[in-house]
Structure 1
Amino acid sequence: MPSLFKRSLLPKLRSFPLTADAVGVLCGAAEFRRCLLEKIASATRRIYIVALYLQQDEAGQEILDALHAAKLARPELDVVVVVDWLRAQRGLIGAGKQPGNSAWYQEMTRTHASEVPIYGVPVQTRELFGVLHLKGFVIDDCVIYSGASLNNVYLHKFDKYRYDRYHLLHNRELADSMQHLVQHGLVASKAVHRLDLPNLPTTRSLRNDIGDLRSRLKHAAYDTTQGTTDRTGLSVSPLLGVGKNNPLNRVICELIASAQQQLTICTPYFNLPLAIIREINRALARGVKIDIVVGDKTANDFYIPPSEPFRVISALPYLYEISLRRFAKRHQRNIDSGQLNLHLWRDGDNTYHLKGMWIDRRYTLLTGNNLNPRAFRLDLENALLLDDPHGELLEPRGKELAEIFQHTRRIEHFQNLETLAEYPAGVAKFLKRVSRVRIERLLYRIL
């Protein structure tokens, strides 16, 4: 269909051709962990791990041990780990003062004969205003793409898991492109330093270098010169974005605008940017059926049971539910007709972290982008866009969606969602105070 955008990016995207058997979908976090460990153990040329964080816990230890073992067995192996600079130097939220994961990285480097460099990327001078939110592990010519970070719950090491999407794409050109960005766009920057070595520079001393890095990232893109603009077959396009109106944001909006029959959106934190809300409204007006899958507030990774002491961070799931209730109320007529379906995901006390979109029977967007104002303005994000004009991936695509919907329930009416009066006392008191001083809108912009 012709684009509704005057300066459309979608038709101009360069992509790498794929075969259907080069794309795999893993069915859960435990399988993701097993696959990742197997790929690391069998790597022969390169391992590039990019994640928000690599946590010091049993699963994190297992991954880092596997990286050291691979490097020790094959010293010629190119092994690089990239995480967010600021996230690596603080402890867990609400866990008191902690040294952060960087101290563990340094101990691992000091006590191992092999060397696995771990680089910290400072996207901003404060974590609140932007983090490294890139996703994708490059192991030889395979790209393992998931929104997950690396710790016990994301990797389902024990009883609990945090549900995400997990895809394998075997394509040398895509793997080369993603490695090139890490090597030349991130690691080569003066703002980026190894976290696994002692005597780290202060963030304050890096302010100018961080500003330069962020400025350059606003104009950066994956190298797709080996790709093509011929979209006649199955292909994948890597996308990068940071800051307002970046190419990734624009493509997300264009994808929604291109939908003619069906659109499915997953986001863990229901706080959609105005640009997405606008395109959803337009899609509803032209008759598109829309499914939006979000986590129940109890499946939010910030959720704290009412039986535990109140902490400010525990109010976030309720803020997202308030946003969802407002959206449902505005679109109740579409919900009644079945054109709009809002689904809440919940599976025991496990948590939900899915992101991405499925557009008609053609496009699938793999991304770590939360589709919220923070992702659209502050964090460094990426995505892989699968274009499937002949429906070669409809079967695995359908299986993935069926698994996602397995633990969901449809919201029949906005009144099915709780109100402020029904929230725990500490949460309700805090949200009333936030509303009175009118900082609620600011919170929605940065959280």
Structure 2
Amino acid sequence: MCLVHRVRRFYCRFPAVRGQTKRRAVRSQPAARIKSGRVYDDQRCSRVSSYPVGFPIERPMQSTFRRSTLAALRGFALPSDAISIVPSAADYRRCLLEKIASATRRIYIIALYLQQDEAGQEILDALYAAKAARPELDVVVLVDWFRAQRGLIGAGRQPGNSTWYQAQNLEYDEEVPIYGVPVQTRELFGVLHLKGSVIDDCVIYSGASINNVYLHKLDKYRLDRYHLIESAPLADSFEHLVQREILPSAAVHRLDLQSPPSSRSLRSEIRAFRSDLKRATYDTSAGDKENGQLRVIPLLGVGPRNSLNRVICDLIASSKIQLTICTPYFNLPVAVTREVNRALKRGVKVDIIIGDKTANDFFIDPDEPFKVISALPYLYEISLRRFAHKHQKAIAQQRLNVHLWKHGDNTFHLKGIWVDQRYTLLTGNNLNPRAFNLDLENGLLIDDPQGQWTDPREAEIAQLMRNTQRVNQYDELDTLANYPEGVRKFLKRVSRVRVERLLYRIL
């Protein structure tokens, strides 16, 4: 079933999303009264809820941070030379291959997908070669369960990558187990979006999956961030999560073996697994709370109001001078938008780096036949235009700077947050409602209170700013009238039936 049909079927199950006015049931409270469709408590007169029943959209987080939670986070101390930044996708591919070839104890590869193409074959061959050279190596590959068993979106019926995994398993004598991890009973409502591979005592953190474009194997690349962090306790905490929280689950199965169970047969196990993941954390018992030293703090989150979401909002709320945000899809959650607005009001300079719509991985040339998935870049541009229109005064005063990235036919996949001269967040979180509610996400927060890592940090931002152009006026961005005919018709249709807001929350 195609993506739009899945959305339509799910959407039809929840009439409240279509504009009906039913409200959530509110627990009985003494002296409760109703005013303007909202429930109030007479004693405190505080608004409780005004959300419709239906799809589990995120609730806005508490807007007033009584105290920062950042100081209480436990992390692992690092020397300033423990963090290395890899400058490009091609360098990242070479680095990954070198690390795999030199591994002596463990290799844990975690990605949304390992694609059957030249780059994917190169990585998988390297894993089998490393295992053959050192049979004692602990090798584990994690990919999303659903993504591995389907073809590319919009490409028609195709065998998934799991068929290739099984063929490779039969071809080699060594075992390189590839596990499929289901985060939700359907891919549309949640995927494995964890980042960070472990090779010996090095954590290789990037938002990139494994295919030709992410690894710049051929002529095109997809720009991301690539960091190497040498830290044995951090690597141990990543391995601990996989071995204690993921692999023991009855929902997780090897995809490189013949005849894996059907997704339908695993529904109850998947639901139980997701429930367990909501309580899971990285083991930071060997770490320290804020101590004035350079630290790295691993974070995990799935579902609304998780700890990673809270830290993201707390980070933005803590900004005093400078806030920089990268996201490939401009569709900020309510809580993030609120904190960005507040940062602007208190005088923080805000830079947002976003890919131009033509640098979006879902963009299709207007001369090609229209596909539903190709409308997504235009939806994101509409969202960006609204935001820029609202903040045109701040843009004119250069307190808000929106930078659009474009470099030939290459695509943009950056995500992350930089706060003042202290905090840097590495994450695969796209800073959108889907990431805040549905997918299994993680991140690494680098806390640098003494500025030990300032130069590499600033150099990375400068590198990412290359090939960007500042938006000086909101009307520099295209409108519906400028879009291709197929996109215009589709967006008008979804707007008319009020499914647009649902699309923003799940895509």
Q: Same fold (TM over 0.5)?
A: yes
2:285 counterpart letter in structure 1: T
Matched, 1:208 2:252: no
Separation in 1, partners of 2:71, 2:455: 25
Separation in 1, partners of 2:396, 2:67: 36
The equivalent residue for 1:224 is 284
SS of equivalent residue, structure 2 residue 425 = strand
Would the alpha carbon gap of residues 168 and 436 (structure 1) be closer, same or farther in structure 2, given more than 3 Å must change? same
Separation in 1, partners of 2:154, 2:265: 27
CA contact (8 A) 2:71 2:290 kept: no
Separation in 1, partners of 2:240, 2:447: 23
The equivalent residue for 2:233 is 173
CA contact (8 A) 1:9 1:247 kept: no
CA contact (8 A) 1:143 1:170 kept: yes
**Deviation of the 1:5 alpha carbon:** 1.7
CA contact (8 A) 2:221 2:410 kept: yes
Separation in 2, partners of 1:13, 1:397: 21
Q: Deviations over 1:39-92 (max 9, x none)?
A: 000000000000000000000000000000000000000000000000000001
**Deviation of the 1:268 alpha carbon:** 0.0
**Deviation of the 1:11 alpha carbon:** 1.8
CA contact (8 A) 1:131 1:378 kept: yes
**Deviation of the 1:201 alpha carbon:** 0.4
**Deviation of the 1:326 alpha carbon:** 0.2
Separation in 2, partners of 1:193, 1:8: 40
Matched, 1:376 2:452: no
The equivalent residue for 2:485 is 425
**Deviation of the 1:393 alpha carbon:** 1.1
1:242 counterpart letter in structure 2: V
The equivalent residue for 2:356 is 296
The equivalent residue for 1:355 is 415
The equivalent residue for 1:30 is 90
The equivalent residue for 2:323 is 263
2:286 counterpart letter in structure 1: Q
1:361 counterpart letter in structure 2: Q
2:341 counterpart letter in structure 1: N
2:333 counterpart letter in structure 1: P
1:132 counterpart letter in structure 2: L
Q: Percent of counterpart pairs with the same letter?
A: 70
The equivalent residue for 1:113 is 173
Equivalent residues in 2 for 1:223-372, closer than 5 Å: 223-372=283-432
Would the alpha carbon gap of residues 220 and 7 (structure 1) be closer, same or farther in structure 2, given more than 3 Å must change? farther
Separation in 2, partners of 1:428, 1:187: 45
SS of equivalent residue, structure 1 residue 438 = coil
Alignment counterpart, residue 108 of structure 2, candidates 45, 48, 61: 48
Separation in 1, partners of 2:227, 2:346: 32
Separation in 2, partners of 1:212, 1:435: 36
2:281 counterpart letter in structure 1: A
Separation in 1, partners of 2:475, 2:458: 31
Separation in 1, partners of 2:269, 2:286: 31
Q: Deviations over 1:277-301 (max 9, x none)?
A: 0000110110000000000000000
Q: Deviations over 1:105-147 (max 9, x none)?
A: 0011111011100000000111000000000010000000000
The equivalent residue for 2:130 is 70
**Deviation of the 1:8 alpha carbon:** 4.4
SS of equivalent residue, structure 1 residue 24 = strand
The equivalent residue for 1:14 is 74
Separation in 2, partners of 1:206, 1:358: 40
Separation in 2, partners of 1:101, 1:70: 21
SS of equivalent residue, structure 1 residue 231 = coil
Higher-Rg member (1/2): 2
Alignment counterpart, residue 396 of structure 1, candidates 435, 456, 467: 456
**Deviation of the 1:99 alpha carbon:** 1.2
CA contact (8 A) 1:15 1:227 kept: yes
CA contact (8 A) 2:105 2:136 kept: yes
SS of equivalent residue, structure 1 residue 95 = coil
The equivalent residue for 1:436 is 496
**Deviation of the 1:246 alpha carbon:** 0.2
CA contact (8 A) 1:268 1:294 kept: yes
1:66 counterpart letter in structure 2: A
Detail structure 1 runs of 4+ shifted over 4 Å in the superposition: none
Structure 2 alignment gaps of length 5 or more: 1-62
1:322 counterpart letter in structure 2: I
SS of equivalent residue, structure 2 residue 179 = strand
Separation in 1, partners of 2:389, 2:141: 45
Separation in 2, partners of 1:93, 1:277: 30
SS of equivalent residue, structure 1 residue 80 = strand
CA contact (8 A) 1:14 1:224 kept: yes
Identify which range, 89-98 or 246-255, moves more after superposition.
89-98
1:248 counterpart letter in structure 2: L
Separation in 2, partners of 1:32, 1:4: 40
**Deviation of the 1:209 alpha carbon:** 0.5
2:110 counterpart letter in structure 1: V
Matched, 1:155 2:212: no
CA RMSD of aligned residues (A): 0.9
**Deviation of the 1:96 alpha carbon:** 1.4
**Deviation of the 1:403 alpha carbon:** 0.9
2:471 counterpart letter in structure 1: I
CA contact (8 A) 1:344 1:411 kept: yes
CA contact (8 A) 2:68 2:318 kept: no
2:133 counterpart letter in structure 1: A
CA contact (8 A) 1:89 1:102 kept: yes
CA contact (8 A) 2:72 2:290 kept: no
Separation in 2, partners of 1:186, 1:78: 16
Q: Deviations over 1:6-52 (max 9, x none)?
A: 37431211000001111000100000000000000000000000000
SS of equivalent residue, structure 1 residue 239 = strand
Separation in 1, partners of 2:64, 2:460: 30
2:365 counterpart letter in structure 1: P
